[in-house]
Every structure is written in structure tokens, then in C-alpha cells.
Amino acid sequence: MSEKQLTQSQQEFREYCARWLEENKPEPHPIPLPQAAYEVTDPSHLTYLQDWQAKCWEAGLIASDLPKRYGGHDMTDCQAIASAEVRKAGVPYFINWIGLGMAVPTLLECGNEAQRERFLPPIFSGEDIWCQGFSEPGAGSDLASLQTSAVKEGDHWVINGSKVWTSLGHFAKYMLLLARNDKADKYGGITYFLADMDQPGVSVKPIHKMTGESGFNEVFLDNAIVEDHLRVGNVGDGWKVAMATLTSERGAGVGVGAVASESPTLVMAQV
């Protein structure tokens, strides 16, 4: 949207965003940030970036157009304006790029109302970091060959298997998890879950590069528990839901808020 096409209220919001970013641009962290959010391993970097994301959310620069019940700000066609101003400002990236760029659009498209109201606000604030549990050791590029199992027991699922190349797994509170509920159906036997990473059945092992950095992780699920109300979509609809997630990822996080890119710029997304 060009400046000439903005309504008066949108132009005022653009000026507000530019002014707010100029006045609130954080001091650099004493230890230089990695080039991208997926490389962050220092807890002090995490806290610094979470604080920055929370300030931007509270100021209305994240989730500008979404309803307040989702943690949004009930504006109209303003997210793209905030996105453009953040991109120009040269500020730190938003740490919760998987939450903002993948979990949010997935829940908006495929989740239920209770899931949206519970999970979206702490994604926007940066309080709850998210990771993605799709890739598996030895599976190569064939995502549908995943073997992590999901067995229904009463009102919950028991998950066993492992995931690999999991960005932010070492900091994540929740995982977007694909698991197989039916071995006989390659595509229709996959279910999509929101898995709590903070439980005894989940362990995270960093994958160290030759440089010693460890932005990626392997995640082991050993009788991990996921309540059935944390299933996204119907049983067996995981492949369809995963395609919604991957479409968001490949579209630079087409959803709400921001997706971290190389510092100091951001790739921002709009609804």
C-alpha cells in the first residue's frame, strides 16, 4: 500500500510506528547477536530479544489487525504498515520466528478457538518460544515417511520417536509436531499436535557445527504425552495441516507479526 493510498488513520499509524521505533530502538547487546534467530544459543540473547518482541507487541506493531481475544489490537489493514516501518528501522529481529511465522498462521487456518485464545497471545509477546518437529533422522526429503508414533490412550496421545534439525528446540516451550497414528496410510495416517516441550518424555540434544555453534537440535520423544485437545485438525489430517504450515514458511511467514531474518533487518508478515 503506497503512502498516497493510506487513510488518515493509517497515515497517523505509520507516523506513530516510525516515531515509536526511533524512540525505543534498543541499545545493542554487549555480545553481538547472531545473524539470524535460529542461531541464537546464548540465554542472555534470548532474554534481550524476548524483551524487545514484547515491547513491539505491546506497542501494536505485532498482531495489529487481529482481534483482542487473540492478543491482537483490533486495527484495520495496519499490519503491513507496521511491517514496513520495522523493516526500515534496522532493529533487532524477533526471536519467536517459528511461533509468529508458522504456529500463528496454522492455528488461524486450522486450529480451534480455544487453541487460538490460549496460544496466540504468548506467541506474540515472545513469552512462549516455539519449534517445529517435522524432520526426522534418516527420512531425507520425504516428510511423509516420518516414523514418530502417536498412540491414543484415553484422552491423550503417547508419542515416541525423534526429530532433527529443530531450530530453537533448546529454548522452546511448544513444538509443532507431526506423528504417525496409522502405519498403513502414508499420508492419511499422520496427525498434527501441539506438544509441550517441558515434560519428562522430551529431551533435546544440540547438533554442533564444526565452528562449535549449535543452533539446531535433535529432539527425543520417549513416551511423551500430548492431550487430545492439543491436536490440530482431525485425526489423520496432519498432512493437510502440515501443508498449511509449510505454505506459511515458504511464503516468508505469511501470517501475523514477523519472521526473523538476517540481522538487523526483518521480514515482516501481514494477515
Domain-embedded: residue 147 = yes
Same domain, yes or no: 50 and 7: yes
Same-domain check for residues 7 and 102: yes
Q: Are 179 and 96 within one domain?
A: no
45 and 136 fall within a common domain: no
99: domain range? 3-116+254-263
Q: What is the 3-state secondary structure (H, E, C) of the chain?
A: CCHHHCCHHHHHHHHHHHHHHHHHCCCCCCCCCCCCHHHCCCHHHHHHHHHHHHHHHHCCCCCCCCCHHHCCCCCCCCHHHHHHHHHHHCCCCCCCHHHHHHHHHHHHHHCCHHHHHHHHHHHHHCCCCEEEECCCCCCCCCHHHCCCEEEEECCEEEEEEEECCCCCCCCCCEEEEEEECCCCCCCCCEEEEEEECCCCCEEEEEECCCCCCCCEEEEEEEEEEEEHHHEECCCCCHHHHHHHHHHHHHCCCCCCEEEECCCCCEEEECC
Note down pLDDT in tens along the chain; length 271 residues. Answer: 556 689 999 999 999 999 999 999 999 999 999 999 999 999 999 999 999 999 999 999 999 999 999 999 999 999 999 989 999 999 999 999 999 999 999 999 999 999 999 999 999 999 999 999 999 998 878 999 999 999 999 999 999 999 999 999 999 999 999 999 999 999 999 999 999 999 999 999 999 877 666 779 999 999 999 999 999 999 999 999 999 999 986 544 433 444 344 443 333 333 3
249 noted as active-site residue: yes
Whichever domain contains 27, its CATH number is 1.10.540.10
Whether residue 271 is contained in a domain is answered as no
pLDDT at 252: 41
Same domain? 238 vs 156: yes
pLDDT recorded at residue 1: 54
Residue 72 inside a domain? The answer is yes
Catalytic option among 3, 39, 249, 262: 249
The answer to whether residues 149 and 111 belong to one domain is no
What total of structural domains would you count in the chain?
Answer: 2
Q: Tell me if 123 is assigned to some domain.
A: no
pLDDT at residue 259, rounded to an integer: 38
Question: Is 16 contained in some domain?
Answer: yes
**63 belongs to a structural domain:** yes
Residue 270 lies in a domain: no
